[in-house]
């Protein structure tokens, strides 16, 4: 067992570090969750893409570098250590792209991925509805067959970044489900947020910024080529997306390693060394970030990211780590800890405050942590199904419960 990088991997790290040092904006961009910040972050995606850093693990044909999972982890470590901007393209690159690699057609990949890599098309996720949150399969928006495609109608909620994004991917009821089998008959479709029949209503999150939106769809036409996977088989496709959202793809270990490192620096600079209670919390963030980093290396050495129900373990871990880490930072800042990110005096240009607001959402999105705990208990530990008598939980396909261990 070792944690050694090859000379090629080290060279890749050095190349990434040098490029980032030369290109990361000196002063942080305005918040991603504002119109101005969104535009700034999109411009940053163009810069990243020009250096071919926006999606290093993709094949070169789509704008990537064909790099390994481990090299992607390395790039992420360097990216966040450099203090580079949040990724406005994350829901495309981190969620839709892996889904297209697994379930899409070659035509879809060739058409969609290059524009995603360059930031030309920014994607939002349109899953939840006012009446369908944790119980996602109870969604009511529909896809009705039309000549050459489908017409989408209904209402989607809590769609992150949809206020300013270009396109969205979502789940729609296309076939009536058999009794007790609500996961069947759903269709995974992509649509333009500026398409005729689409109305986007921005929704302010806790700090007032329009970080998400409601999407109203009124007979929005979607050609057949914009359906991912087979019509009616959307749940399986969506669970592939959810695996990425809960696993390492959306929230890589490097992000938390960088944040933990900054937290230690803050502690050394600002804390009362005698305050061992705070020191323990800082140490906890370090220990957990290291655990996540090593977990990622373990995945890279095995066969890639967590599989099946395992991303639920990851999601519980990173979402709670993120929140604890930022709460500790705000506590360390004493009276400055209450300054909002937009405040002139906000420490670290508001990064801790912004990070805290962002982290608060972690236990909610990508399936609430209560849903994740259900999935871990039922599918990894083999405890009896509870919420739903017949069909599977809204986190996974129906597989017989069995106690499973991660491959060692």
Partner 1 sequence: MKFVLGTEQRDFARVLGRMLGAADTPAAVRAWARGDHGPGLAVWERVARAGVFGLAVPEAFGGAGPLPAEVAVAFTELGRYAVPGPAVETVAVTALLARLAAEGRTVLAQAWLPRVCEGGALVTAALPGAPGGSPYALDADVCDAVFVVPAGTDDLFLAAGHGPVQPSLDPARWLAIPRCGAEPVASGRAVREAARHAADWAAFAAAAQLLGVGSALLERTVAYVRQRRQFGTPVGAFQAVKHRLADTRVGLEFAGPLVHGAAVALSAGAPGAAAEVAAAKAAASDAAYAAARAALQLHGAIGYTAEHDLSLWLGKARALRSAWGSPAGCRARTLDIFRE
Catalytic residues: 245
Q: How many angstroms from the chain centroid is the CA of residue 263? A: 23
C-beta separation of 170 from 149 below 8 A: no
C-beta separation of 95 from 113 below 8 A: no
* Per CB under 8 A, 166 contacts partner 1: no
* Per CB under 8 A, 264 contacts partner 1: yes
Task: Kindly tell me which of 221 and 297 has the beta carbon lying closer to partner 1.
Answer: 297
Closest approach, Cβ 102 to partner 1, in A, equals: 23
Residue 68 exposed, middle or buried by CB count within 10 Å (0-12, 13-18, 19+): middle
* Per CB under 8 A, 317 contacts partner 1: yes
Cα 56 from Cα 65, distance rounded (Å) = 5
Binds partner 1 (CB under 8 A): choice among 3, 147, 269, 402: 3
Binds partner 1 (CB under 8 A): choice among 140, 201, 349, 406: 406
Binding-residue pattern over the window 24 to 63 for partner 1, x denoting contact by CB under 8 A: ----------------------------------------
Q: What angle do CA 154, 231, 197 make, to 5 degrees?
A: 30
| C-alpha pair distances (Å), 196 with each of 151, 217, 331 | 11, 9, 48
Binds partner 1 (CB under 8 A): choice among 8, 130, 223, 386: 386
Task: Kindly tell me which of 163 and 380 has the beta carbon lying closer to partner 1.
Answer: 380
Cα 306 from Cα 283, distance rounded (Å) = 26
* Per CB under 8 A, 313 contacts partner 1: yes
Strand-strand pairing, 123-126 and 167-173: parallel
Which range binds partner 1 by CB under 8 A, 96-104, 236-244, 261-269, 358-366?
A: 261-269
Q: How many CB atoms lie within 10 A of CB 352?
A: 27
* Per CB under 8 A, 72 contacts partner 1: no
Task: Kindly tell me which of 190 and 300 has the beta carbon lying closer to partner 1.
Answer: 300
Closest approach, Cβ 286 to partner 1, in A, equals: 5
Cα 266 from Cα 124, distance rounded (Å) = 34
Binds partner 1 (CB under 8 A): choice among 86, 377, 392, 394: 377
Closest approach, Cβ 136 to partner 1, in A, equals: 18
C-beta separation of 169 from 215 below 8 A: no
Cα 138 from Cα 359, distance rounded (Å) = 27
Structure tokens at 360: 């608060």
Give me the residues that bind partner 1 (CB under 8 A), please. 1-6, 9, 70, 257, 260-261, 264, 267, 276, 279-280, 282-284, 286-292, 294-295, 297-298, 300-302, 313, 316-317, 370, 372-374, 376-378, 380-387, 403, 406-408
């Amino acid at each position: 067992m070792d944690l050694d990088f090859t000379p090629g991997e080290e060279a890749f790290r050095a190349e990434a570090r040098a490029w980032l040092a030369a290109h990361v904006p000196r002063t942080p961009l305005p918040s991603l969750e504002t119109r101005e910040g969104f535009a700034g972050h999109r411009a940053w995606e163009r810069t990243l893409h020009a250096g071919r850093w926006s999606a290093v693990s993709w094949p070169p044909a789509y704008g990537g570098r064909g790099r390994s999972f481990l090299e992607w982890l390395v790039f992420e470590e360097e990216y966040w250590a450099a203090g580079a901007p949040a990724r406005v393209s994350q829901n495309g690159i981190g969620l839709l792209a892996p889904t297209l690699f697994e379930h899409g057609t070659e035509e879809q990949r060739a058409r969609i991925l290059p524009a995603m890599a360059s930031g030309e098309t920014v994607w939002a996720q349109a899953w939840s509805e006012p009446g369908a949150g944790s119980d996602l399969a109870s969604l009511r928006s529909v896809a009705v067959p039309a000549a050459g495609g489908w017409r989408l109608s209904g209402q989607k909620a809590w769609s992150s970044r949809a206020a300013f994004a270009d396109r969205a991917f979502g789940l729609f009821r296309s076939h009536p489900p058999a009794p007790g089998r609500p996961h069947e008959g759903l269709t995974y479709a992509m649509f333009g947020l500026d398409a005729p029949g689409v109305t986007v209503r921005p929704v302010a999150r806790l700090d007032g910024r329009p970080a998400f939106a409601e999407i109203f769809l009124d007979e929005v036409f979607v050609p057949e080529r914009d359906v991912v996977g087979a019509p009616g088989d959307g749940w399986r496709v969506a669970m592939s997306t959810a695996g990425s959202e809960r696993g390492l793809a959306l929230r890589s270990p490097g992000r938390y390693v960088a944040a933990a490192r900054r937290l230690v620096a803050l502690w050394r600079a600002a804390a009362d060394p005698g305050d061992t209670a705070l020191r323990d919390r800082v140490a906890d963030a370090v220990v957990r970030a290291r655990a996540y980093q090593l977990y990622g290396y373990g995945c890279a050495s095995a066969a890639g990211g967590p599989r099946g129900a395992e991303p639920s373990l990851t999601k519980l871990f990173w979402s709670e780590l993120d929140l604890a880490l930022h709460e500790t930072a705000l506590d360390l800042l004493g009276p400055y800890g209450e300054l909002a990110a937009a405040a002139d005096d906000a420490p670290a240009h508001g990064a801790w405050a912004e990070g805290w607001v962002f982290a608060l959402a972690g236990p909610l999105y990508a399936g609430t942590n209560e849903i994740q705990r259900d999935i871990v208990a039922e599918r990894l530990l083999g405890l009896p199904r509870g919420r739903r008598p017949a069909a599977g939980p809204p986190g996974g396909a129906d597989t017989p419960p069995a106690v499973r261990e991660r491959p060692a």
